[in-house]
Amino acid sequence: MLLASAVVVWEWLNEHGRWRPYSPAVSHHIEAVVRAGPRAGGSVVLGQVDSRLAPYIIDLQSMNQFRQDTGTLRPVRRNYYDPSSAPGKGVVWEWENDNGSWTPYDMEVGITIQHAYEKQHPWIDLTSIGFSYIIDFNTMGQINRQTQRQRRVRRRLDLIYPMVTGAMPKAQSWPVSPGTTTSPPAPPCSCPQCVLVMSVKAAVVHGRTGPLQPPGTRKNMAPSGVGKLPPPPGPGAKPPDSAGTIRGPGKTAPSQVIRRQVSNTPSGATVGSPTSPQGSNRKTGRVALATLNRSSLQRLAIAQSRVLIASGVPTVPVKNLNGSSPVNPALAGITGILMSAAGLPVCLTRPPKLVLHPPPVSKSEIKSIPGVSNTSRKTTKKQAKKGKTPEEVLKKYLQKVRHPPEEDCTICMERLTAPSGYKGPQPTVKPDVVGKLSRCGHIYHVYCLVAMYNNGNKDGSLQCPTCKTIYGVKTGTQPPGKMEYHLIPHSLPGHPDCKTIRIIYSIPPGIQGPEHPNPGKSFSARGFPRHCYLPDSEKGRKVLKLLLVAWDRRLIFAIGTSSTTGESDTVIWNEVHHKTEFGSNLTGHGYPDANYLDNVLAELAAQGISEDSTAQEKD
């Protein structure tokens, strides 16, 4: 039991191991179902409060979020925060995506940012909580400490998250206690969907394996055709565990039960005994799914699916029926039954399996790629260009502005007509000199540009902080390694007419150099060699050639903090997405993906790599 006042934030666990908050409105909706107890049914349909979450259902018994169209299960939790923190004030901190939309920070990060904001700090360094970012409150920007890339951030007011006071049960204790008094079940539902569901359940419970008869044909059946249902587990049965399953000798079955009665059963009778008076045997009238074994549950799910399809009911696919899931395979079937009983159409299917790698390939089957020289490329640490001061480098890209406009310098936020507000190490240039970048036309204090250049990679290139236009050749801080590339005789999903380009990246652990976050400190290299895949099409080969340029410029990887594990001083991807899943797309890093090649070309262009770059590399 938790005591005292707190705000409740419902959160879900993403694929990177980070707990992501639901919005205040969704948290209020979930909390209302939790407080209603077992009478509310034990599941939350998120689409009822946010149409964008229509595919998602939360099962409060197992504390999992279930996505209907993919079968994906993610843990959820009910977390508590101080009422004086950001969620207790309705404050949401968000960062801007590449597509211009806004994404809220994790609750822990948002609270940290809000605390610094309230203390009127000019900026906050998030390194202490595992993120290599600085939030600048003057510019309302997020700065990546490794790449110096900037994004906009904003502070938005929303609903206050739900408040709890006094003794509140933890989420795992739902329902409040086994002894909690519940009201009698609702009267039988007579909608066609429930009639259909109950007919399927009755068929499976009685072991019927033949084709199901439509509901209309069952009305003329003799009452003796309805047998008694298996009773619920007795007092000796083990209690459900946190995943909502009942443990038996060698078997696991979900403990959820369906409380609806067969709608065409005469009033005052139960399924177990058509002539029994109402309430005389209510427990045996419930569908005790916990007593069914795995094959029976799967047979129930498939039978229901067939009947729904045959009846012409529009269906939504629900997956996760095979045994590879850590959750009991029957959970998807029971979810489908629960959804159907609630009037939500469902079609149960089997999901594709995760296929990370292609079938085995012999050395003789591996071929070089036409139009691409060699089959591997190594990279070593490149030395920064010497002999030129930062002022001399920037002079190539700037035009002097004699009469600055009445605008702010977006680096120091001082007026361009006033001296630079930069307070760091003093460049040799005067603080009141103003320059205009030759290609994009943005105007800054030259003093500020020199300071920004000194804080970067100092490779002779400059990136406009406003529009991201790159001047010169941008290079990165990728540690030494090897890139291999060749053809294998297999096709990717969505590209049946061509072979596959396989890329293998190998980077060993080592010691960080002066360009890295912690010079002289060792860094790790997890998950290498990393295998990536491209279709051997015209556009796929184009992407490969540009990736080779990015590799030579040390832009594929960097050293920083892993967003997956939270480990610092390790090799991480550097904003150019790769497909690491060969035969499926369950993680979002596989095929088919119709937009991937165009997206990665855009990401490479943002790093200053285009078709012109290949010609520059040859020169």
Categorize the per-residue pLDDT at 270 as very low, low, confident or very high, splitting at 50, 70 and 90: very low
pTM here is 0.48
Domain match, 450 and 411 both: yes
Stretch 114-136: mean pLDDT, rounded?
90
- For residue 104, give its domain range: 91-157
Among 263-277, 287-301, 420-434, 558-572, the minimum mean pLDDT is found in 263-277
Q: Rounded distance, CA 116 to CA 262, Å?
A: 59
230: tokens are: 């298996």
**What does the DSSP assignment read for 476-500?**
--PPSEEEEEEEES--BTTBTTS-E
pLDDT at 209 over 80: no
Domain match, 491 and 577 both: yes
Total domains, the chain: 3
pLDDT at 23 over 50: yes
Among 17-26, 303-312, 333-342, 388-397, the minimum mean pLDDT is found in 303-312
On whether residue 544 sits in a domain, the answer given is: yes
Among 201-210, 217-226, 339-348, 402-411, the minimum mean pLDDT is found in 217-226
DSSP classification of residue 287 = B
Domain match, 446 and 566 both: no
Closest by CA position to 259, among listed 344, 336, 342: 342
Q: Rounded distance, CA 320 to CA 326, Å?
A: 10
Main-chain phi, psi angles of 252, to 5 degrees: -135, 130
Q: What is the CATH number of the domain that holds 132?
A: 3.30.720.50
Stretch 37-64: mean pLDDT, rounded?
81
Domain boundary at 157, 174, 203, which?
A: 157
Stretch 83-105: mean pLDDT, rounded?
89
DSSP classification of residue 291 = G
Give the DSSP H or E segment for 111. helix 107-118
CA 27 to chain centre: 18
Q: What is the CATH number of the domain that holds 430?
A: 3.30.40.10
Which range has the top average pLDDT, 38-42, 463-467, 509-513? 509-513
Domain match, 554 and 440 both: no
Among 88-92, 177-181, 548-552, the minimum mean pLDDT is found in 177-181
Q: Rounded distance, CA 201 to CA 292, Å?
A: 11
Q: Rounded distance, CA 433 to CA 418, Å?
A: 9
The more confidently predicted of residues 339 and 150 is 150
Domain boundary at 120, 136, 157, which?
A: 157
Q: Rounded distance, CA 84 to CA 161, Å?
A: 12
pLDDT at 22 over 90: yes
On whether residue 401 sits in a domain, the answer given is: yes
Categorize the per-residue pLDDT at 118 as very low, low, confident or very high, splitting at 50, 70 and 90: very high
Domain match, 609 and 563 both: yes
On whether residue 267 sits in a domain, the answer given is: no
Domain boundary at 157, 173, 202, which?
A: 157
Categorize the per-residue pLDDT at 91 as very low, low, confident or very high, splitting at 50, 70 and 90: very high
On whether residue 493 sits in a domain, the answer given is: yes
pLDDT at 170 over 50: no
The more confidently predicted of residues 248 and 366 is 366
pLDDT at 571 over 70: yes
**What does the DSSP assignment read for 354-368?**
P--SPSP--GGG-BP
Domain match, 446 and 573 both: no
The pLDDT value recorded for residue 416 is: 92
On whether residue 410 sits in a domain, the answer given is: yes
Place of tokens 């799914």: 289
pLDDT at 565 over 80: no
- CB distance 10 to 19 below 8 Å: no
DSSP classification of residue 61 = T
Domain match, 556 and 487 both: yes
Domain match, 608 and 511 both: yes
The pLDDT value recorded for residue 192 is: 43
On whether residue 604 sits in a domain, the answer given is: yes
What would the pLDDT profile of 226-235 be if each residue is shown by its tens digit? 333 333 333 3
Q: Rounded distance, CA 256 to CA 235, Å?
A: 17
Main-chain phi, psi angles of 542, to 5 degrees: -60, -45
Which range has the top average pLDDT, 163-177, 293-307, 419-433? 419-433
pLDDT at 208 over 50: no
Closest by CA position to 106, among listed 121, 87, 127, 78: 87
Q: Rounded distance, CA 272 to CA 228, Å?
A: 4
Exposed/middle/buried for 187, CB within 10 Å: 0-12, 13-18, 19+? exposed
pLDDT at 348 over 70: no
Domain match, 452 and 492 both: no
Q: What is the CATH number of the domain that holds 555?
A: 3.30.390.130
Domain match, 586 and 505 both: yes
Place of tokens 């689409």: 47
Categorize the per-residue pLDDT at 356 as very low, low, confident or very high, splitting at 50, 70 and 90: confident
- Kindly report the average pLDDT of the chain as a whole number: 74
Stretch 388-398: mean pLDDT, rounded?
88
Domain match, 498 and 551 both: yes
Among 26-35, 300-309, 503-512, 559-568, the minimum mean pLDDT is found in 300-309
pLDDT at 551 over 60: yes
On whether residue 299 sits in a domain, the answer given is: no
The more confidently predicted of residues 7 and 257 is 7
On whether residue 494 sits in a domain, the answer given is: yes
pLDDT at 223 over 50: no
Domain match, 498 and 413 both: no
